[in-house]
Amino acid sequence: MKASVVAHKDFTVSKIDDRVYGAFLEHLGRAIYEGIYEPDHPSADKDGMRGDVAKLVKDLNIPVVRYPGGNFVSAYNWEDGIGPRDKRPTRLDLAWHTSESNAVGVHEFADWCATVGTEMMLAVNLGSRGVDEARNFLEYVNHPGGSYWSDLRIRNGRKDPWNVRMWCLGNEMDGPWQVGHKDAAEYGKLAANTARAMRMFDSKLELIVCGSSNSDMASYPDWERIVLEHTYDHVDHISLHMYFANREKNTANYLALNHKLDRYIETVASTILQVKAKRKSKRDVTISFDEWNVWYHSNKQDRAILDGGNGWPHAPGLLEDIYNFEDVLMVGLILNTFIRRSDVVKIACIAQLVNVIAPIMAEKGGPAWAQTIYYPYYFASIFGRGTALNLIVNSPGYDSVHQDNTPYVDVSGVHNEDEGVLSFFLVNRHGTEAIDVSVSLQGFADGQVIDHQVMVHDNLEAVNTARNQTEVAPRKGSGAKAEGGELNVKLPPYSYQMVRVKV
């Protein structure tokens, strides 16, 4: 089986915003406690943060991490997480039916971000709270001093402001499961008022308004239109969320889900343009896809806690999906879609980072390790920086519930002009056929393959564990050649590959 691709130097999509490779941490399950923070762990630093987890995070070169939620933020009092730890209150978290010790708050999270080399993207509570709490939080975090909240920050041990640029105006406010759920008009007015107040403090903030929790919501896509009609002139991005599942154990349909993702992005992009035209605006609003990942493996085991059957435990194991090789292919497809839609998707956050539907798992008192999906995320984050190429792909395909003639070969391409390197990320959706792919490199100088990584496994259900951390891991590929203006590579059945060409 054969497929062909045309990559032309001048046929591009957009410069990729590095923040497309962002991540998310919520006060949920063991993401914070026993995830990034475990004072008694052998690798813990002086602040109680796990060094082994920090190393795995740092290796990903994540530009931004969204915090502290998520559903959690819609009933969160940010003031609970500041000041002396022994005076911080324990609260009941209604979102996940657990208790929150507040041992980690904005100070601890900011210090951790500095350790792993990332920026904070903070969310304000527009569920149970509103404008006042948002502007106070902003003042606490960003004002140099000489005001009530900034002086309180200084007394709490942080002299300089953190100057956080990105702020989320609530979370999933379209969802009836959300504390303080609102309809689109009610939320749009609150978000607009909050944005106006925050811009009175600093007009250069980047503000992110809530879009739909998923594209199956009954209010979608009217939600986006109504919310943007209220907020368009006051925000920079609208957030979208989507999770991917294969409950039916149908691999062909599962691996076509990125077509549903692409339609979701296209619909919201068109809605943005509709509102822009209606408002006669010169501003551009783009998409922050600030929650995405595979999520379904842990659903059944979570029910007892989420239904309240276990009381109010602190940091129980929740949403601890153990990812398999099939999920490697799905995550590769999602990232390819974000690269191809980098014209409008400027921020994206894998949800989440540690233990909770995460590429990294950490055992209490024990090791931390990379889950299977860590690797396609790693390759895209490290090598997917530059300009997205608008590739022309000709591949045989199959019909799925999400797309007729779903191509077996899915590919994205990135040109890093500063380094003179092309990076291609390829997925073969075919379960039994290898596919020979030829990529015509037009407008580029003759090049050579400098890196070729392959992920393949004969068992789609194969996973990594604390005892076998490399069952599913990349290996050096062979046979990829660039000569005569053409790259040729063979894709084994059900495989993910990265090929880099120096040009």
In the block, which residue shows the tokens 């925050």? 198
Using an 8 Å Cβ cutoff, are 499 and 441 in contact? Answer: no
User: Which amino acid would we find at residue 381?
Assistant: S
* pLDDT greater at residue 445 or residue 128: 128
Residues 6+ apart with CB under 8 A from 31: 25, 352, 353, 354, 355, 356, 358
Residue 464 near residue 470 (C-beta atoms within 8 A): yes
Q: What angle do CA 18, 68, 131 make, to 5 degrees?
A: 100
List active site positions: 172, 291
SS3 29: coil
Neighbours of 114 (CB within 10 A): 12
Whether the CB-CB separation of 56 and 378 falls below 8 Å is answered with no
pLDDT at 460 over 90: yes
pLDDT at position 309 over 90: no
The upper half-sphere exposure of residue 31, i.e. CA atoms within 13 Å in the direction of its Cβ, equals 27
What is the SS3 string spanning 51-63? Answer: HHHHHHHHHCCCC
Q: Report the alpha-carbon distance of residue 140 to residue 153 in Å, rounded.
A: 6
pLDDT (tens digit, 9 = 90+) per residue, 337-375? 999 999 999 999 999 999 999 999 999 999 999 999 999
pLDDT 10s digits, 375-434? 999 999 999 999 999 999 999 999 999 999 999 999 999 999 999 999 999 999 999 999
Partners of 15 in the β-ladder: 387
- For the segment 154-176, the average pLDDT, to the nearest whole number, is 98
Looking up tokens 């294969």 gives: 246
DSSP calls for 89-114: PPEEETTTTEEE---S-HHHHHHHHH
Nearest to 443 by CA among 11, 13, 9, 12: 9
pLDDT at position 40 is: 98
Reading the block at residue 185, the tokens are 């008009």
Diameter of the chain by CA atoms? 69
Inter-CA distances, 363 with 369, 370, 468, Å: 9, 12, 13
First and final C-alpha spacing in the chain:
28
Could you tell me which residues come within 8 angstroms of residue 365 by beta carbon, excluding any fewer than 6 positions away? 38, 40, 41, 42
pLDDT digit string, tens, across residues 230-284? 999 999 999 999 999 999 999 999 999 999 999 999 999 999 999 999 999 999 9
Q: Which of 372, 380, 374, 327 is nearest to 472 (CA)?
A: 372
Are the beta carbons of 353 and 360 closer than 8 angstroms?
yes
Interacting residues of 269 by C-beta distance below 8 A, sequence separation 6+: 287, 341, 344
Dist CA 35 CA 29 (whole Å): 9
The whole-angstrom separation of Cα 411 and Cα 424 is 7
DSSP 436-469: EEEEEEESS---EEEEEEEEE-S-TT-B--SS-T
Task: Give whole-number Cα distances, 441 to 14, 415, 477, 501, in Å.
Answer: 18, 11, 20, 10
Ordered DSSP codes for 255-307: TTHHHHHHHHHHHHHHHHHHHHHHTT-----EEEEEEEEE--TTHHHHHHHHT
Residue 91 clears pLDDT 90, i.e. is over it: yes
* Locus of tokens 């077509």: 259
Q: pLDDT (tens digit, 9 = 90+) per residue, 186-211?
A: 999 999 999 999 999 999 999 999 99
Q: To the nearest 10°, report the CA torsion of 131, 136, 142, 148.
A: 150
Q: Give Cβ neighbours of residue 200 (< 8 Å, ≥ 6 apart).
A: none
Averaged pLDDT score across all residues of the chain: 98
Q: What is the pLDDT of residues 214-232, one digit of tens each?
A: 999 999 999 999 999 999 9
214 C-beta neighbours (distance < 10 Å), count: 17
Q: Which of 109, 89, 107 is nearest to 99 (CA)?
A: 89
Helix (H, G, I), strand (E, B) or coil at 230: helix
Reply yes or no on whether the pLDDT at 298 is more than 90: yes
Contacts for 162 with CB less than 8 Å, ≥ 6 apart = 110, 120, 141, 142
Angle 354-59-353 (CA atoms, 0-180°, nearest 5)? 15
